[in-house]
Structure 1
């Protein structure tokens, strides 16, 4: 026990010698110790908030990436829709294209409508994938897709074009719709 007290006194002597060497009072040394502790705590808090900020930025970048992919996909589908609408509204051009493909005009129109509706289903699937669709609305959409994919025109066209769609969409149709 005496050793501990003696050691404590030596520490005190060390602090006193330090204060005398640098011309500091005990109060000034105490303030330095307190401010050093506050600075250390502040540095830790700054590190922690920076870490949280980086995590938030990473999350926001993921959300932005998903949004850009969704918007890009929507734009592609929109341009397909514009082409199909153009073909449906220009009978002579449609007849020439059907003739060039070696199919009757009615079959050509069926293919356009089938592709249009399948692409629309794909768009809805991707909107759900990127969480831009209300979950209740998605459940109703699945019911509609199941009905639509039972139509002979859609079923036949799906068999012809399914390989052109992303694998994840093909799997969704196979596992959940057909």
Structure 2
């Protein structure tokens, strides 16, 4: 009797895990703005922020759940468009530094080339690895391009579950690293004033 009960519980657990891995996961991708201080003179600089999708693969999802064998299962999708996540994150970072973000001044455009999380299995825990790739351009008020750079951010974490929440957290960390690189580039800062 006891062995039948244990077998039943084990089977129920496996079915539950399979159901999770076979159901699409739609999640928010939160972004935590850095604690950077204001850039001197930024309060006098107006900036417009835009983004576009230049991904050649995985445009409809930000990752996939995997089973215990590492086989890809159901898709993980973002609640809002990836381009909106990136645009809003760049705008938030610029505001944090004192820039006036609106519809005038230099135009910052971020082409999203990669925004994806991969899971892998391990002995006691799995790994979540996120890659964010952007091509950032700045055009001045006259429409001339004054800055172009490919920016990348990668983050990796140990996880117990290959689910949407873990994918979103790792992607948020990768986006933070990419934007830290962008905001720390003196050429980008200089391009905003041209």
What TM-score results when the alignment is normalised by the length of structure 1? 0.29
Rg larger for: 1
When you count helix as a share of all residues, which structure comes out higher?
A: 1
